C-alpha cells in the first residue's frame, strides 16, 4: 500500500473493518499481513469511524471471540493516537445516493472521507480500494 504524509510528518490512517478483523483474529488468512501493516502505522494518527467499531465488535461476536472483543475495546479506548471520528448521519446517508454503488454505507463513507481529507485508507476490501483510486 502507498501512503500519504501530512505537512507535519504524521500520517493519518483511516482503518476499515476488514483490516481490524484480520488484525484481531489470529486464524484469519490476512492476519500476518494486518499485523505487519499495523507495526508500520501504529505510531501514526489512526482514525476509526464509530460504525467500524460496531462492525468489528459484531463480526468478533459472531465468531465467538469474546476475549478479542475486550482487547479491541481497550485498544480504541486507551490508545493515545487513535481518534474516533464524529458522526454526521445526514451527510453520510447523502453520500450513498451520490455514489449509487452496490456497497455498504460504511464502505462508501470511509472511501469518501479518505478521498476528501487525503487519509490513507487501510482496508483489504478490493471494492473500496478500487473506488478510492478513482
pLDDT for 5-62, tens place per residue? 444 456 899 999 999 999 999 999 999 999 999 999 999 999 999 999 999 999 999 9
Which triple of cell numbers denotes residue 113? 472521507
4 vs 55, higher pLDDT: 55
- In the prediction, which pLDDT does 11 show? 87
Q: For 16-133, CATH number?
A: 3.40.50.1010
- In the prediction, which pLDDT does 106 show? 93
Could you give the CA distance from residue 56 to residue 59 in angstroms, rounded to a whole number? 5
For the chain, the structural domain boundaries read: 16-133
- In the prediction, which pLDDT does 131 show? 87
Across the chain, mean pLDDT equals 90
Return the bridge partners of 120, or none: 13
Could you give the CA distance from residue 51 to residue 107 in angstroms, rounded to a whole number? 10
pLDDT band at 133 (very low <50, low <70, confident <90, very high): confident
Give 128: exposed, middle or buried? Use CB within 10 Å, 0-12, 13-18, 19+.
buried
Quick check: 120 and 11 in contact, CB under 8 A? yes
DSSP state of 28: S
Helix (H, G, I), strand (E, B) or coil at 33: helix
Q: How far is CA 83 from the centre of its chain?
A: 11
- In the prediction, which pLDDT does 10 show? 67
- In the prediction, which pLDDT does 99 show? 83
Could you give the CA distance from residue 46 to residue 121 in angstroms, rounded to a whole number? 10
Alpha-carbon separation of residue 98 from 34, 53, 101, 109 (angstroms): 31, 24, 9, 11
Q: What is the pTM of this model?
A: 0.88
Amino acid at each position: 500500500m502507498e501512503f500519504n504524509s501530512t505537512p507535519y510528518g504524521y500520517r493519518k490512517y483511516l482503518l476499515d473493518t476488514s483490516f481490524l478483523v484480520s488484525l484481531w483474529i489470529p486464524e484469519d488468512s490476512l492476519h500476518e499481513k494486518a499485523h505487519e501493516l499495523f507495526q508500520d502505522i501504529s505510531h501514526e494518527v489512526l482514525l476509526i469511524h464509530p460504525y467500524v467499531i460496531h462492525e468489528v465488535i459484531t463480526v468478533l461476536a459472531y465468531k465467538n471471540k469474546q476475549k478479542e472483543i475486550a482487547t479491541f475495546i481497550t485498544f480504541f479506548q486507551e490508545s493515545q493516537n487513535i481518534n474516533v471520528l464524529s458522526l454526521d448521519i445526514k451527510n453520510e446517508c447523502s453520500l450513498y445516493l451520490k455514489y449509487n454503488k452496490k456497497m455498504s454505507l460504511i464502505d462508501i463513507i470511509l472511501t469518501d472521507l479518505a478521498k476528501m481529507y487525503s487519509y490513507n485508507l487501510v482496508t483489504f476490501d478490493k471494492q473500496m480500494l478500487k473506488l478510492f483510486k478513482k
